Amino acid sequence: MVFTLPEELREHVRSNQKILYGIVMKAAAKSLIKLAADPHYVGGLIGVLAILHTWTRTLLYHPHVHCLVPAGGVSDEQEWLPARKNYLVPVKALSKIFRGMFREMVSVKLPDLMIPEAAWNKEWVVYCKPAIQGADKILDYFGRYVHRIAIANSRILSIDDGTVTFRYQKCGDSQWKTMTLPANEFIRRFLQHVLPRGTHKVRYYGLWNPSNRSRLRQVQILFARDTPVQPHEIDILDEEVSAQPMVNGKTCPHCGQGTLILIDHIPCQRRAPP
């Protein structure tokens, strides 16, 4: 899911980055959580992983937030409530809630900030898409995405006579195109995506917030009970933890209190290139 700020707001965000980046991420997550809590949609508390992104493929300033959301939530009775297939919440309603929450938060944090009325009178863009590729591929993509800078060295084709030529792809087009910019303009575009010191690019909300750790653990235990475990997976786990024996094979060797439940075995892998 992607939440995008309208063009009328971008210059204001650029001049108040540290505060407004936090506001846009919080507004996106809170609007999702609020709408998903409606019994017409999920009816429970969802988790939200929010990732800040500020550039387009040609390095233009385009602040927006990517959100990864599980297909369901937890009720007050600690029951898992699955969302409907290929549908989480209506994006038009979500867009209005997002706009309203952002405006309210800005008025509290930056009461003197003058924002054009046109920004509040237009529809804000919210895009939602199911993770049809599977959880593993989505997490692998986000793992590289989080630590990526605005442009990789492999996309820079040449630096000659005070100009920089690089390649890019338009959204939805697999063909590579090239763009040549004066060196000063290229540097300006690149540096506007350097985040202010102390800015958190990744934040967790709802069920994935540390304050809900106990509720999340209940969900993990609930799913683990319904997950079939192969005998060879238990043997592998026993070999890996043999250096730290567990009491009756169940108690956590670190805290001495928690109960270990095997969900899956993750093989060792080399880190993917950034």
Lowest-pLDDT range of 34-38, 75-79, 269-273: 269-273
Structure tokens given for 11: 């210059």
Q: Is residue 13 part of a domain?
A: yes
Pair 23, 122 in one domain: yes
Sequence-ordered strand ranges (E) for the chain = 2-4, 47-55, 61-68, 72-74, 80-82, 126-127, 156-160, 163-169, 176-182, 202-206
Pair 105, 178 in one domain: no
3-state secondary structure of 51: strand
| 224-251 average pLDDT score | 50
pLDDT for 246 equals 37
Q: Is residue 246 part of a domain?
A: yes
Highest mean predicted confidence (pLDDT) among 215-219, 253-257, 269-273: 215-219
Local confidence band at 265 (pLDDT 50, 70, 90 cut-offs): low
Pair 49, 155 in one domain: no
Sequence-ordered strand ranges (E) for 96-239 = 126-127, 156-160, 163-169, 176-182, 202-206
Pair 20, 145 in one domain: yes
**What is the rounded (10 degree) CA torsion for 178, 180, 185, 189?**
10
Quote the number of domains for the chain: 3
Q: Which residues pair with 259 in a beta bridge?
A: 251
Range of the domain at 247: 227-264
On whether the CB atoms of residues 33 and 125 are closer than 8 A, the answer is no
For the entire predicted model, the pTM comes to 0.77
User: For residue 251, what is the DSSP state?
Assistant: B
pLDDT for 27 equals 96
CA gap 60, 55 in Å, rounded: 6
Q: What is the pLDDT of residues 248-264, one digit of tens each?
A: 446 777 777 777 676 66
How many CB atoms are closer than 10 A to CB 200?
Answer: 13
Pair 19, 120 in one domain: yes
pLDDT for 106 equals 95
Q: Is residue 135 part of a domain?
A: yes
Pair 47, 163 in one domain: no
pLDDT for 228 equals 57
User: For residue 270, what is the DSSP state?
Assistant: P
Cα separation of the two ends of the chain: 22
